[in-house]
């Protein structure tokens, strides 16, 4: 018993670089040897799916991409899945970006899903309006007069020459908003300046870090469901039946979480052993 307690205490003083190595291994090994753990959708993810599924065919959906390369592993899979769902249900998709990096990633997503997978036509089925700087002022601009803010799309084409922009002048002309958000500006700004004043329904996908900031809006009914981080993306992929990057990362995520919990438990066991010993002496 003493040997075990001494071992646990010794592990508490280990160089942190060994911890880094363990974390690296527990993440990388499942990527090479996947376990294939089944994914079950949570209620908030199901709510997003049901909301989008209930939209009448041909609805005008605004998808706003406010994420960058640093948060791509969490948000990009959910953008791809939501786009697949939207195009499958034959909705018209309009993409804006509140982050500059979001424009490249949105373009990649549209090229992959709309152009390559579904063979859709730019300007008739989907359009990339692009990035505009200004944070919440951009959201306000979209609400009041989208055409003043966006005179050209991301390809430099005039808005007036894009067929699917006909009849779209302000935010209220859209039937639904999906915000794929990694921080500021993002979901919260859409809720405050667009959705609450106009009552256009909205769902969102956020990074795991941002989930708790957004949950009160979901609970209050201001947002219809939320895709929470990479697990949320994986759940949505499972719901639409097209596994992707989100699904492939979940095995590694599961094992890594388990290992971190074990670290925490071990650390606390060591703490209690040390506390009892110091009380004794």
Partner 1 sequence: MLWKRQIPILIVAVIGSITLFGWFINEPNIKSFVDDDATQWFDILASFAIFLGGFNLLKMQLQKIFRRQRGWQYSIFAIAGFFLAITAGFFYKGNPDVAWGTHVTADGTLFKWIFTYMFAPLQATMFALLAFFVASASYRAFRIRNFEATLLLVSGIIIMIGRVPLGSFISSWFILYLLVLIGGITVNSFFKNKQYTAIFVIVGIIVVTAAGSSLGWPLDQPGILYLPYLQEWIYKYPNVAGARSIMMGIGMGIFATSIRYILGIEKSYIGE
Partner 2 sequence: MFGEIFGAWVAVFLTFAIFSFLYKDNPFYKIAEHIFVGVSAGYWTSMFFWTQIQPNLFGRLWPSTHYSDGIWYGVYDLFGFISSSIFPAGGIDKGHELHFSYLIPFALGIMMLLSLFKKLNWFARWGIAYTVGMAAGLRAYGFLNSNVILQIKGTIIPLLDPDLPFFSLLGDSHFNNLVILVGTVTGLLYFFFSKEQTGNFGKVTRVGIYFLMISFGASFGFAVMGRISLLIGRFTDLITYNDASYHHATIWVLVIMVAILGYSTFTDKGNSETDVS
Stretch that binds partner 2, among 5-13, 78-86, 118-126, 206-214 (CB under 8 A): 206-214
Tokens representing 47 are 């709510």
Question: Is residue 132 close enough to count as binding partner 2 by CB under 8 A?
Answer: yes
Q: Is 10 in contact with 243 (CB distance < 8 Å)?
A: no
- For 91, other C-beta atoms within 10 Å of its C-beta total 23
Site residues for partner 1, 89-118, by CB under 8 A, read: 101, 103-104, 107
Site residues for partner 2, 50-79, by CB under 8 A, read: 70-74
Stretch that binds partner 1, among 1-9, 53-61, 116-124, 148-156 (CB under 8 A): 148-156
The greatest distance separating any two alpha carbons of the chain, rounded to the nearest whole angstrom, comes to 83
Which long-range contacts link 224-227 to residues 24+ away (Cβ below 8 Å)?
224/47, 224/48, 224/51, 225/44, 225/45, 225/46, 225/47, 225/48, 225/49, 225/50, 225/51, 226/44, 226/45, 226/48, 227/44, 227/45, 227/48, 227/78, 227/82, 227/203
Q: Which does 144 bind (CB under 5 to 8 A by kind): partner 1, partner 2, none?
A: partner 1
CA distance 279 to 186: 51
Question: Mapping DSSP to helix (H, G, I), strand (E, B) and coil, where does residue 122 land?
Answer: strand
Query: What is the helix (H) or strand (E) element at residue 72, kind and residue range?
Result: helix 72-88
In the list 1, 33, 43, 199, the residue contacting partner 1 (rule: CB under 8 A) is 43
Task: Give the footprint of partner 1 on this chain (CB under 8 A).
Answer: 12, 16, 19-20, 23-24, 27, 37-40, 42-44, 68-73, 101, 103-104, 107, 130, 132-135, 137-138, 140-141, 143-145, 148-149, 154-156, 212-213, 215-216, 219-220, 228, 231, 250-251, 253-261, 263-264, 266-268, 271
Task: Give the footprint of partner 2 on this chain (CB under 8 A).
Answer: 17, 20, 23, 27-28, 31-32, 43, 70-74, 100, 103, 130-134, 136-137, 140, 151-152, 158-160, 188-189, 191-193, 196-197, 207-209, 211-212, 216-217, 219-222, 228-231, 245, 248-249, 252-253, 256-257, 260
């Amino acid at each position: 018993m003493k040997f075990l307690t001494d071992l646990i205490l010794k592990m508490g003083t280990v160089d942190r670089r060994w911890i880094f190595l363990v974390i690296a291994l527990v993440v990388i090994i499942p990527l090479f040897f996947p376990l294939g753990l089944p994914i079950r959708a949570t209620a908030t993810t199901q709510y997003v799916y049901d909301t989008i599924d209930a939209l009448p065919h041909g609805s005008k959906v605004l998808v706003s991409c406010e994420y960058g390369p640093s948060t791509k592993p969490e948000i990009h899979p959910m953008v791809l899945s939501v786009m697949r769902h939207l195009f499958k249900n034959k909705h018209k998709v309009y993409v804006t970006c509140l982050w500059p990096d979001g424009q490249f990633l949105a373009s990649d997503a549209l090229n992959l899903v709309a152009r390559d997978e579904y063979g859709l036509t730019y300007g008739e089925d989907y359009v990339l309006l692009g990035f505009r700087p200004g944070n919440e002022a951009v959201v306000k601009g979209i609400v009041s007069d989208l055409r003043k803010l966006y005179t050209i799309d991301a390809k430099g084409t005039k808005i007036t020459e894009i067929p699917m922009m006909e009849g779209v002048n302000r935010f209220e002309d859209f039937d639904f908003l999906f915000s794929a958000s990694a921080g500021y500006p993002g979901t919260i700004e859409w809720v405050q300046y667009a959705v609450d004043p106009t009552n256009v329904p909205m769902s969102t996908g956020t990074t795991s870090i941002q989930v708790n900031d957004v949950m009160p809006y979901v609970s209050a009914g201001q947002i219809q469901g939320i895709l929470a981080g990479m697990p949320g993306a994986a759940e949505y992929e499972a719901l639409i039946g097209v596994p992707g990057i989100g699904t492939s990362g979940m095995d590694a995520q599961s094992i890594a979480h388990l290992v971190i919990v074990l670290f925490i438990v071990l650390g606390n066991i060591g703490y209690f052993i040390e506390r009892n010993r110091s009380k004794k002496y």
